[in-house]
Amino acid sequence: MTDTALIILAAGQGTRMNSDLPKVLHEIGNAPMLVHAIKAGQSLDPERIVVVTGHGGEAVAAAARDWDDRAEIAVQTEQLGTGHAVAQAGPLLKSFDGDAVVLYGDTPFLSAETLEAMRDARERFDVVFLGFEAADPAPYGRLVMDGPLLSRIVEAKDATPEEAAITFSNSGVVAADAGILFSLVSEIGNANSKGEYYLTDIAALANARGLTVTAVACPEAETLGINSRDQLAAAEAAFQARARAAAQDDGVTLIAPETVFFSHDTAIGRDSVVEPNVVFGPEVTVESGVRIRAFSHLEGAHVSRGSTVGPFARLRPGAELAEDVHIGNFVEVKNAIIDRGAKVNHLTYIGDADIGEATNIGAGTITCNYDGVMKHRTRIGARVFIGSDTMLVAPVSVGDDAMTASGSVITEDVEPGALALGRARQVTKPGMARKLMEVLRAKKAKLQGK
């Protein structure tokens, strides 16, 4: 199979976004649009990935490399059109022997199937464009076909009435042998009203050389480009609709699908149930047979099969739940490993901790993990009972089968099987409550009299 290089155009400022952030770094499903474009291209198993940057280039380059450290960066210092942008990748791919596929950093929804169809078409044609049947073709260049061959691309403003009636429209995505692509790009002129170099001109240039040119069709929704905030919102809604449908197709029950929000990398196993108003941040894996109860938020967490989370629970990065763990209402877990069958059911913070198998954490427990400068770890063994309202001042450990009394502040290690009490002795003063209230009420009456 021919090697593939991706050329991802990501230099645009996106003035309609009215933002200091480069357009391609605006997020859909908690990932920059650029990452979605790279992920789409990765379905081709590319040998090389070149991202063409411009506005906010350093930030765009960093985002590309954060996702795939193989990403190479070409810089388009002047915004002189798509043809000019592709040309900036030429020096990096000068010796590349294979196909080049041009994608766009603000077009996040191309499917693996569509790109595979373009690859298949490349076995029979020299240059392959990607087109779509537009519901409203008015803004788009028209793909004028002659049977399987693409004879030319006509910009909307230049179309004759017959050409304007064509609905098969140009997405801008193109695939060709890298050497042929850059050779054609080098011949593009800028004799147009904007003085720019348009990548679409290579269709006519290729035909003039006697090369074979075609266009592959995909659904219009895959070609959605993002140029404004309202389009970004529409793209987010489209992403969420697809993610919900995919989850349900995979055997996940969504009780109120429209209220559940996924990230681009959310993974949920079959026969799991997600109740209403749940949000999945990045890097969440939920195994089979899990129940995520309403109004919970998960990010950077792994939940093993048979566990229950929520309602109103928060799992933060580093939360690792083993099988059959119960995390209840108003519980927050961060950077903690909770072993099989453990229960943390009420009003509790577990941070920087290890919780052993079948341990029960009482309501109002806090692992006091931060001393103002450093984080410290709490280690609780198996079958431990932590009484309600226990403060565990890390670093501290509690051995297997131990217990802490309710209301304790634990500052020293507790050996296995021991009962730890760390609270002040209760003092009761008969009649003092009545006397105190009388004094306070008199004081209040005197103040109100003024």
Give the CATH number of the domain where residue 61 resides: 3.90.550.10
pLDDT at residue 158 tops 90: no
What does the pLDDT look like over 76-129, one tens digit per residue? 999 899 999 999 999 999 999 999 999 999 999 999 999 999 999 999 999 999
Residue 234: per-residue pLDDT: 95
CA angle 383, 384, 389 (to 5 degrees): 145
Query: How confident is residue 450, by pLDDT bands cut at 50, 70 and 90?
Result: low
Percent of the chain predicted with pLDDT > 70? 100
Catalytic residue among 36, 55, 326, 346: 346
Question: Do residues 188 and 240 both lie within one domain?
Answer: no
Total structural domains in the chain?
2
Question: Do residues 45 and 80 both lie within one domain?
Answer: yes
Average predicted confidence (pLDDT) for the chain: 96
Average pLDDT rounded to a whole number, residues 383-404: 98
Query: How confident is residue 256, by pLDDT bands cut at 50, 70 and 90?
Result: very high
Question: Do residues 25 and 111 both lie within one domain?
Answer: yes
Active site includes 376?
no
Question: Do residues 63 and 177 both lie within one domain?
Answer: yes
Query: How confident is residue 14, by pLDDT bands cut at 50, 70 and 90?
Result: confident
Predicted TM-score (pTM) of this structure: 0.90
Question: Do residues 215 and 262 both lie within one domain?
Answer: no
Question: Do residues 215 and 283 both lie within one domain?
Answer: no
> Is it true that the peptide bond before 395 is cis, omega within 30 degrees of 0?
yes
Average pLDDT rounded to a whole number, residues 188-215: 93
The last residue of one of the domains, among 223, 257, 286, is 223
Question: Do residues 14 and 119 both lie within one domain?
Answer: yes
Within-domain flag for 111: yes
The last residue of one of the domains, among 197, 223, 249, is 223
pLDDT at residue 12 tops 90: no
Residue 21: per-residue pLDDT: 94
Question: Do residues 47 and 101 both lie within one domain?
Answer: yes
Distance between CA atoms of 49 and 372, rounded to whole angstroms? 43
CB 424 within 8 A of CB 397: no
CB 48 within 8 A of CB 72: yes
Name every residue whose Cβ is closer than 8 Å to that of residue 300 and which is 6 or more positions away in sequence: 281, 282, 283, 284, 315, 316, 317, 318, 319
Within-domain flag for 396: yes
Question: Do residues 233 and 101 both lie within one domain?
Answer: no
Average pLDDT rounded to a whole number, residues 282-301: 98
pLDDT at residue 297 tops 70: yes
Give the CATH number of the domain where residue 342 resides: 2.160.10.10
Question: Do residues 43 and 192 both lie within one domain?
Answer: yes
Question: Do residues 210 and 240 both lie within one domain?
Answer: no
Which of these, 32, 56, 42, lies nearest to 106 by C-alpha position?
32
The last residue of one of the domains, among 176, 197, 223, is 223
Domain of residue 241 covers 229-420
Distance between CA atoms of 437 and 92, rounded to whole angstroms? 82
Average pLDDT rounded to a whole number, residues 411-428: 94
430 secondary structure, DSSP code: T
Query: How confident is residue 387, by pLDDT bands cut at 50, 70 and 90?
Result: very high
CB 319 within 8 A of CB 301: yes
pLDDT at residue 7 tops 90: yes
Which of these, 237, 266, 234, lies nearest to 250 by C-alpha position?
266
Average pLDDT rounded to a whole number, residues 283-295: 98
Alpha helical stretches, state H, 169-228: 178-185, 202-208
Query: How confident is residue 424, by pLDDT bands cut at 50, 70 and 90?
Result: confident
Question: Do residues 258 and 164 both lie within one domain?
Answer: no
Average pLDDT rounded to a whole number, residues 172-180: 97
